[in-house]
Amino acid sequence: MKAVFLIADDFEDLQFFHLYYRLREDGIAVTVAAEAETLVAEGLHGYAVEPDMSIQELSPNDYDLLIVPGGRSPEHLRVDEEAVNLVRMFAQDGGIVAAIGHGTQLLISAGILSNKQATGDAGIRDDIRNCDAQYSDEPVVVDGNVITARGNPDLPAFCAQIRAAVAARSK
């Protein structure tokens, strides 16, 4: 099982690191990808991450799970057509796509939430509704291969749901 995180500057540190280390503890190979010019991505709270590769180098077929942490990072990524296309292709190919907080913005831009149920930070509730998705004010929402969560307080439930989806795929 292989997972990839998509990040840019101003990612929500806790949403990244909580899942990053949890997945590694579970024996999942984890890759971090960012825009080509990003040598180090800095989180909202000052933690730095060196990406393993650029988004442009990624092949969706090489990964089973794609994770988009929140913060302001998704705002940067959603204007990068390669990042948007990667998420779209990943979802269309049936990979597990997980986003938390503002991470759902990138899924909106990729057009993968239409006719789905989803959640995210309350500040993007209307964005979720405006893309023809049904917004649910729940800690975690699963619709097919898409897993979304509201924010930091929901990290334990989000992580548990991702782990359950990964376990189901591993059988």
48 bridge partner residues: 42
Nearest to 52 by CA among 31, 74, 79: 31
Catalytic: 45?
Answer: no
DSSP-derived secondary structure for the chain? -EEEEE--TTB-HHHHHHHHHHHHHTT-EEEEEE-TT-SSEE-TTS-EE--SEEGGG--GGG-SEEEE--BTHHHHHTT-HHHHHHHHHHHHTT-EEEEEGGGHHHHHHHT--TTSEE---GGGHHHHHHTT-EE--SSEEEETTEEEE-SGGGHHHHHHHHHHHHHHHH-
Which of the residues 18, 45, 76, 102 is marked catalytic? 102
> Could you list the active site residues?
102
